[in-house]
C-alpha cells in the first residue's frame, strides 16, 4: 500500500511541475490547447471538439469489398457501415449542441456497429477512439479508446488526427514515453505539426519520462530543420533550462527575440521568460 501511495504522490508532483513548465512552454492564449490532456483529466464525459466536417466515411473503392460481381450481402455491408458512421457523426453533433447524454450513447452505439461491420476502416476506428477516450472517468473506456486509436493508425499510418489524439490520450494515462514517440513521429513527418500544440507536450513528456537529454538532442535537430519555428526554439530552451544549462537556454531564446521569430505573442512570451531567467541568474 505504501508503495502504491508513493507512486501516486510522485505522479501528483510531476503534474504540478507540468503546470509550472507550461508557463514557460506556451504563451497564455495557447496554454488551454497544450494542457488539454490535463484539463479534461477527470470527471469529464464530453467528446473532443473534433469538427464533423473532418470525419468522412471512406469511399466505396476503399471499403475492402468488390463493388460489383459479389453477393448482395457483401455489397450491403460497406453501405450499412457508412450509414452507421454518418449516423454516429450526426448524433455526436447533436450531443455537442445539446449536451444530452442519449445522443452520445447513440453515437457510440452506431460507430461501434460500423466498426464491427467494416473493421478495416481507419476513420471508423478513429471516431470510436475519439468518443471512448473522451470518457475520462471510465478507465476501461479510456483503454478501449487508446486501442481504437492504435488500430486507426495501423490501418492508416498517415492519419495525423488519430496520431495526435493517440499521443494526447497516452499522455493523459501517464504513458509519457509512448506519447513522446507519437509526438516525435508527427513532428518528423509533417511540417504543419511544428506548433506549440505538439512541441510543448512533447517537451513535457520528455521531462516526465526522464529523457530530458534525449529531448534536447531532438529539439536541437528540429530547430536546425525549422530555424524560424518559435515553438520549437522555446521548447528547446525550456529543456535546456531543465537540464541546468541556463546560459544555453538564454542564448536560444535571445535569438528568437532578436530575429523576431514567430507571432508577436510568442515573442512577448519569450521576452518574459528571458527576463525571468536573467533575474534568477543575478539572484
Domain spans of the chain?
A: 16-41+175-283, 57-173
Enter the C-alpha cell of residue 6: 508513493
For helices 196-208 and 212-225, the axis angle rounded to 10 degrees is 160
Residue 279: its pLDDT value, please? 87
Q: Provide the b/e sequence for 133-150 (b: ≥16 CB within 10 Å).
A: bbbbeeeebbebbbebbb
Q: Which CATH architecture has domain 16-41+175-283?
A: Alpha Horseshoe (1.25)
The answer to whether 16-41+175-283 and 57-173 have equal CATH topology is yes
Task: Please state, as a whole number, how many other Cβ atoms lie within 10 Å of the Cβ of residue 268.
Answer: 14
Write the DSSP string, the chain. Answer: -HHHHHHHHHHHHHHHHHHHHHHHHS-GGGHHHHTHHHHTSSS--PPP---GGG--PPPGGGSSS-SSSS-HHHHHHHHHHHHHHHHHHHHHHHHHHH--HHHHHHHHHHHHHHHHH-TT-HHHHHHHHHHHHT-TT-HHHHHHHHHHHHHHHHH-TT-HHHHHHHHHHHHHTT-HHHHHHHHHHHHHH-GGG-SHHHHHHHHHHHHHTT-HHHHHHHHHHHHHH-TT-HHHHHHHHHHHHHTT-HHHHHHHHHHHHHTT-S-HHHHHHHHHHHHHHHHHHH-
Task: Mark the ranges of the chain whose per-residue pLDDT is less than 70.
Answer: 1-76, 283
Give the fold, CATH level 3, of 57-173.
Answer: 1.25.40
pTM metric for this prediction: 0.73
For residues 62 and 44, what is the distance between their CA atoms, to the nearest angstrom?
Answer: 35
Residue 282: its pLDDT value, please? 73
Q: What angle do CA 144, 146, 152 make, to 5 degrees?
A: 105
Residue 237: its pLDDT value, please? 96
Residue 39: its pLDDT value, please? 34
Residue 40: its pLDDT value, please? 35
Residue 62: its pLDDT value, please? 45
Residue 56: its pLDDT value, please? 56
Amino acid at each position: 500500500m505504501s508503495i502504491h501511495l508513493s507512486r501516486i504522490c510522485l505522479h501528483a508532483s510531476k503534474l504540478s511541475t507540468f503546470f509550472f513548465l507550461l508557463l514557460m512552454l506556451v504563451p497564455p492564449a495557447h496554454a488551454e490547447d497544450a494542457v488539454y490532456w490535463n484539463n479534461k483529466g477527470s470527471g469529464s464525459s464530453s467528446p473532443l471538439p473534433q469538427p464533423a466536417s473532418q470525419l468522412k466515411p471512406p469511399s466505396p473503392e476503399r471499403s475492402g469489398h468488390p463493388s460489383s460481381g459479389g453477393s448482395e450481402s457483401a455489397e450491403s455491408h460497406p453501405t450499412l457501415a457508412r450509414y452507421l458512421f454518418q449516423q454516429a457523426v450526426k448524433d455526436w453533433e447533436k450531443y455537442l449542441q445539446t449536451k444530452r447524454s442519449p445522443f452520445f450513447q447513440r453515437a457510440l452505439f452506431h460507430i461501434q456497429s460500423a466498426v464491427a461491420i467494416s473493421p478495416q476502416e481507419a476513420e471508423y476506428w478513429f471516431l470510436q477512439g475519439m468518443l471512448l477516450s473522451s470518457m475520462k472517468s471510465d478507465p476501461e473506456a479510456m483503454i478501449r479508446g487508446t486501442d481504437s486509436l492504435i488500430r486507426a493508425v495501423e490501418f492508416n499510418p498517415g492519419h495525423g488526427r488519430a496520431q495526435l489524439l493517440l499521443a494526447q490520450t497516452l499522455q493523459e494515462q501517464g504513458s509519457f514515453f509512448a506519447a513522446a514517440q507519437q509526438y516525435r513521429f508527427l513532428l518528423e513527418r509533417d511540417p504543419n505539426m511544428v506548433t506549440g500544440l505538439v512541441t510543448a507536450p512533447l517537451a513535457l513528456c520528455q521531462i516526465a519520462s526522464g529523457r530530458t537529454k534525449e529531448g534536447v538532442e531532438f529539439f536541437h535537430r528540429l530547430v536546425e530543420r525549422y530555424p524560424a519555428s518559435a515553438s520549437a526554439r522555446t521548447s528547446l530552451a525550456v529543456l535546456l533550462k531543465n537540464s541546468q544549462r541556463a546560459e544555453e537556454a538564454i542564448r536560444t531564446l535571445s535569438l528568437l527575440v532578436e530575429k523576431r521569430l514567430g507571432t508577436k505573442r510568442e515573442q512577448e512570451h519569450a521576452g518574459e521568460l528571458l527576463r525571468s531567467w536573467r533575474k534568477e541568474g543575478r539572484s
